Every structure is written in structure tokens, then in C-alpha cells.
Amino acid sequence: EIYGEPTIKKIHDKNWKTRLEGLQELHQKLVIESPEEIKTQAILKTLSLAPGFKESNFQCNQEKLKIIKAAVQNPKLSETSINIVLSYCLDKITDSKCSVGSKESLSSIADVVSFAYLAPRVLSEGNKLKSVKNVAECWGWFSEALFQFGFGKLDLKITIDEAYKGLGNTNAAVRGKAVDAIAALLRYVPQLRPKFDDQKDAIKVFIEFIYSIF
């Protein structure tokens, strides 16, 4: 009723060009709405329907991320809505053609519900991902977002627990990104430095080095 049956049908069409056209139409209608009027959950549910978040065309994925970024700006954004798209955003965070849109979508969510709420979820779910590249980029987003949003009311215990997991990862890229994030965190709460005294000397030296150049 809100966005038109023809547009919604196009979004679920088997032909990617038709899907892209429908997604573009939805996005154009969405950006002219005031955030309070956006039917966020309905929109995100629509995106999740077949082919949904298993979309194989990068242009359609790019458009979906644009829609997510716009749709989550509703100040009444719910946890249910976030749950619909979080895994999708984390899945696309290393896609060379979609990573920017993925990170911007995550930051848009954090802007509404707070960085303190979203960051632990991204790190927790990120550390469970099968792809080490995705795990590393979740830490990369955390570092970037920390400077964007500030420390705020970030839960230190949860963040440190997740940081230990990152530092203990067998992949060097993940450990490196986790070190970057810890160094960024220490800019806000330098008193946390002793929490990492039990790490290997190489990691402690790396943390101090990154910290010094921020």
C-alpha cells in the first residue's frame, strides 16, 4: 500500500535487472520520507524475501545496502529490525563493491540506537564468523566507528572480553585489526592498558606503537 505492488514485485523478480529497477524505485520513494514515517521493519522484511540476502548481483546488493542505510534512520528503530539485517551487513563487510555500504549501514544503525549498543553485537557476532576477513573487518569498523561516535557508554567488560578473542585469533589480520581497535580504545580510556599486560610482548609493543601514532 505504501510503496506500490509493482515495485515490490520487481524486487523479488528472477531477473536481476528487474530487481535492481524495483530496488531503485523503493530507494527513491524512501529518501523523500521523513525518518519517523519510514516503515522500517516492513521494508527490511521485504528485502529479506527471496532472493533476499543471498542476492548474487552486486548492483542489487549495493542498492539494498542503500535502502538499509535509509530505512534504519527511524528513531524508533527496533531490535527486531536490526536482527533482520545485521548478519547481511557483516557478510558484505569485506565485499570490495559493498563494504562501504555495509559499514555505512552499521554506522547508521549505531547513530540511532547508540554505538554502545551496536558495537558489542558486531564484535560478538563478528568473532563467530567463518571468514577471517570478515572477522578482521568487524574490528576495522569498530575502530572507525569509535572515532566517529566516541567512547560513550561502551561496555568495557564486554569489549575487553571480545578483544581477548580477537588477540587470540590464529589469523594475523584479525589480530592486527584487534590491536588497532584496542589502541583506539586506549585513547579514550588509557587506564585500561594494564588489562593487556598478560599478552605476548610482540602484541603489547604493537599496541603501544599504534597508540603512539594515533
Give the pLDDT confidence score for residue 211 in this predicted structure: 74
Contact 71, 38 (CB under 8 A): yes
pLDDT at 18: 98
Q: Scan for cell 572515532, then name that residue.
A: 147
CA distance 30 to 16: 21
Would you write out the chain's pLDDT as a tens digit for each of its 214 residues?
A: 888 999 999 999 999 999 999 999 999 999 999 999 999 999 999 999 999 999 999 999 999 999 999 999 999 999 999 999 999 999 999 999 999 999 999 999 999 999 999 999 999 999 999 999 999 999 999 999 999 999 999 999 999 999 999 999 999 999 999 999 998 898 899 888 899 888 888 787 878 877 776 5
User: By the 8 A CB rule, do 69 and 108 touch?
Assistant: yes
**What is the structure's pLDDT at 121?**
97
Give the Cα separation of 61 and 97 in Å (integer): 9
Q: Where are the alpha helices (DSSP H) in the chain?
A: 5-11, 16-31, 40-48, 58-71, 79-91, 99-113, 115-126, 132-149, 156-167, 172-188, 201-213
Q: Tell me, what's the pLDDT at 125?
A: 97
The per-residue pLDDT for 197 is: 87
Give the pLDDT confidence score for residue 204 in this predicted structure.
Answer: 79
- Any residues with CB less than 8 A from the CB of 148 and at least 6 apart, and which? 107, 115
User: Given CA atoms 12, 18, 20, 23 in this order, what sign does their dihedral have?
Assistant: negative
For the chain, the farthest-separated pair of C-alpha atoms sits apart, in whole angstroms, at 61
